[in-house]
Structure 1
Amino acid sequence: MNLKSFFDAVSPISDTTWEEIEPLFRKEHLAQHDHFTKTNETATRIAFLESGIVRAYFTNREGKEYNKQFFVAPTVIGAYTSLLKGSPNLIAQQAMTDCIIWTINYNEITNRYNAFPDLERLSRKMAEYYFLEKEKKELDIVLLNAAERYQIFQKEFPGIEQHITQYHVASYLGISPIQLSRIRHPKEEK
């Protein structure tokens, strides 16, 4: 799916709007393990993830990483809190596979909202989607057991386990790799 098709699927934008913003996007490649956003840097860009998988994660004081989200193409990535507040980023985004992304300066988009209301509507629809997704994950973590969360993970991210390690899946689910192994390979009951 290309960028224009992705936008139109979320909230259609006019040809005039597309002609205005298309030249602002730059194609880039992220190699596996490269970062799109890093911790303690102030974000200035967002990107359309054309191909590949990116994880969003944070690291605690002891240096342990926790996966907050996986982004599987096609989707949009970016350090939204840093972008909105102009503050240093707390959640890094790292390529789990080789990725193709189309980057754009966040201010170049927001500065065009008044002139292009369909662009602002698109941004609002994407924000609403991510809010709902975040709330669902928060509820799942508290209301569902690990096996139920794993089943949901498999439905939401089919095939992703072929590309990422068990450690990363377990971290996303809020469990240990050993717990995940037990869920994936339960002992046969006698």
Structure 2
Amino acid sequence: MEKLIAHIQDLSPVSAEEISRIEKAFQEKKLAKKEFILKAGDVSQHMRFIDSGALRTYYLDEDGKEFVQSFGIEGWWLNDLYSYLSQSPATQFIQATEPSVIFQIHRDRLEELFKEVPAMERFFRIKMQSAYQAAQHRNLQVKIESAVERYANFRQSYPQLEQRFPQYMIASYLGLTPEHLSYIRRKALK
């Protein structure tokens, strides 16, 4: 749980007693490759921190085609925030793409933790603001950038992800076909 505590400390320092409360509030969950922690139609009840491994969120269209919404690796949070905040059925699936370990906290327990450790409320406010900014930025990128620009920005912003996720998932995230991404990669290498 050291990564989680260090991550919290970076944004909102907590005391040793508060760390103990945080550690007791989160539960460890191990995931096998391809295991789901959330499926479309379920209501997201947990905030999830990735301690090790890699996960993705995606949704399916009416024809069953997958669209990757986001990726997550060590030190990142991953969730269907709309489902979590609105307590409505999730539209996304969250799936481990390699064996993973997450720490999660149920929403009711998190509300209690906000009262016990006020710094946690500040921490999650900052995380929610960052998530909103990232979503806005991603929506804008998809609308105004060319495919080549989106790929270049992806590589620059997330160099560690390209080796962790298959090309078809990255293509889906970028709004491309795997063939188009392959063409862009070949072109970029020249």
TM-score, normalised to structure 1's length?
A: 0.92
For residues 28-87 of structure 1, the C-alpha deviation after alignment (integer angstroms, 9 at most, x for no partner) is 211111111111011211221011111111111111110011112111222221121111
Corresponding residue of 1:14 = 15
Measured on the aligned residues, the alpha-carbon RMSD in Å equals: 1.8
- Correspondence 1:32 to 2:33: yes
Q: Given the superposition, is the C-alpha separation of residues 67 and 188 from structure 1 closer, same or farther in structure 2, using an over 3 Å criterion?
A: closer
Greater Cα offset, 22-31 or 154-163: 154-163
Runs of at least 4 residues off by over 4 Å: none
- The 5 Å alignment of 1:11-160 reads 11-160=12-161
For the 8 Å contact 1:17–1:119, the answer to whether it is kept is: no
For residues 7-48 of structure 1, the C-alpha deviation after alignment (integer angstroms, 9 at most, x for no partner) is 112322333332222112222211111111111011211221
Displacement of 1:127: 0.2
For the 8 Å contact 2:29–2:102, the answer to whether it is kept is: yes
- The CA distance in 2 between the partners of 1:15 and 1:86, in whole Å, is 33
Displacement of 1:114: 3.5
Q: 1:10 corresponds to which letter in structure 2?
A: L
Q: Secondary structure at the match of 1:61?
A: coil
Displacement of 1:154: 1.0
Q: 1:172 corresponds to which letter in structure 2?
A: Y
- The CA distance in 1 between the partners of 2:164 and 2:22, in whole Å, is 33
TM-score, normalised to structure 2's length?
A: 0.92
Q: Given the superposition, is the C-alpha separation of residues 129 and 187 from structure 1 closer, same or farther in structure 2, using an over 3 Å criterion?
A: closer
For the 8 Å contact 1:82–1:88, the answer to whether it is kept is: yes
Displacement of 1:163: 2.5
Displacement of 1:161: 2.3
Q: 2:43 corresponds to which letter in structure 1?
A: T
Q: 2:80 corresponds to which letter in structure 1?
A: A
Q: Secondary structure at the match of 2:77?
A: strand
Q: Secondary structure at the match of 2:88?
A: coil
Structure with bigger helix share is: 2
Unaligned runs of 5+ in 1: none
Q: Secondary structure at the match of 1:57?
A: strand
